[in-house]
Amino acid sequence: MLEIRSARKVFYAGQPDEKVALDNLDLTLQTGEFGVVIGSNGAGKSTMLNAVSGALPLDSGQIAINGDDVTDTPVHKRAKRIARVFQDPMLGTAASMTVAENMLLADLRSTDRTLARGLNAKRLADYKDRLAALGLGLENRLDTKVELLSGGQRQSLSLIMAVGGSPDLLLLDEHTAALDPRTADLVMQATVRAVDTFKLTTLMVTHNMAHAVDYGHRVIMLDAGRVKLEIGGDEKANVTVAKLVDHFAVKTDAMMLGAGA
């Protein structure tokens, strides 16, 4: 379970270009719930995700995971419970290391690293299995350096790395936005499969309204650093792209187009 309680974050406080990124934001995500966050640029989506992951300290407010307050826990300690897939495929993987080594790093996310050999036969076999599920042939490229993979392959690898070990919370930061439509679809399908299989508590930020409509249990719309609208349950099942876009303060055709509606 994720709880964000009256989270506040102000950039450039006291300066002319002061910007309230999070305005006493409250948000609760039940265990096993898949929340989809939408909102226009500058609504505070990224700030919220960064605050949850620990990359950005809050000015005030609390963040709790499964009831434990993690507000003052640094990123690398929070990583024991949180996995994250970034928008930029370059950010989520170590480019100069091999596919297997990247899998190993993610594998050890929530454990203490020892002086034992990292890539043993048992682990390699396990990574092969897990990567085979993607159907991209990555299982045969365990010794390939990640920098030689395409953006889609890297992002798929990031996803497999993130969902391994069933994290308490999975953060998806527009993780299909930088991919071509076909690959984006593939990564999204893999995401949904993993989230369903492992019953992961998931927070996904997206600009793709079709994804917001099709996936997840609840849509959360942010505006000016607070939750403007939440759609869950039956209402979520019946929502359409057009209805969602109606709620944006500024409507753009790009949103409709991006949704493929």
Partner 1 sequence: MMEFISSTFTSYVALVPVTLSQSFILAFVVMGIMIPFRTLQFPDLTSEGAYPLGGCVCGVLIAAGVNPALAIVAALACGFLAGCCTALIHLRFRIHTLLAGILMMTMLYSINLRIMGKSNLSIFGSDTVYNWAPFVTPGFPVSKIIIAGLIGAGVFLALNWFFKTEKGTALRAVGSNPAMAEAQGISVWVSTIIGVGLASGFSATSGALMVQAQGFADVNMGLGILINGLAALMIGEAVVGKQSVWRQLLAPFVGAIIYYQLVSLCLAAGMPPPDLKLATGLFVLAMLALPSLKRGRGAGGTPAREKFRE
Q: Decide: is 119 part of the binding site for partner 1 (CB under 8 A).
A: yes
Q: Which region, judged by CB under 8 A, interacts with partner 1, from 43-51, 116-124, 192-200, 221-229?
A: 116-124
CA-based end-to-end distance of the chain: 33
Question: Which of 46, 47, 87, 93: binder of partner 1 (CB under 8 A)?
Answer: 93
Q: Decide: is 142 part of the binding site for partner 1 (CB under 8 A).
A: no
CA atoms in the 13 A half-sphere facing the CB of 217? 15
Q: Decide: is 118 part of the binding site for partner 1 (CB under 8 A).
A: yes
What is the arrangement of strands in the sheet containing 202-205, beginning at the earlier edge strand? 82-85, 169-173, 202-205, 34-38, 218-223, 226-232
Q: Decide: is 104 part of the binding site for partner 1 (CB under 8 A).
A: yes
Strand partners, 172: 85, 204
39 phi and psi angles, rounded to 5 deg: 155, 155
Q: Decide: is 148 part of the binding site for partner 1 (CB under 8 A).
A: no
24 to 4, 35, 140, 173, 221: CA distances (angstroms): 9, 19, 48, 21, 15
Q: Decide: is 94 part of the binding site for partner 1 (CB under 8 A).
A: yes
Contacts with partner 1 in 219-238 (CB under 8 A)? Answer: none
Question: Which of 13, 95, 125, 242: binder of partner 1 (CB under 8 A)?
Answer: 95
Summarize as ranges the residues that interact with partner 1 (CB under 8 A): 53, 74-77, 79-80, 83-84, 90-97, 101, 104-106, 108-110, 113-119
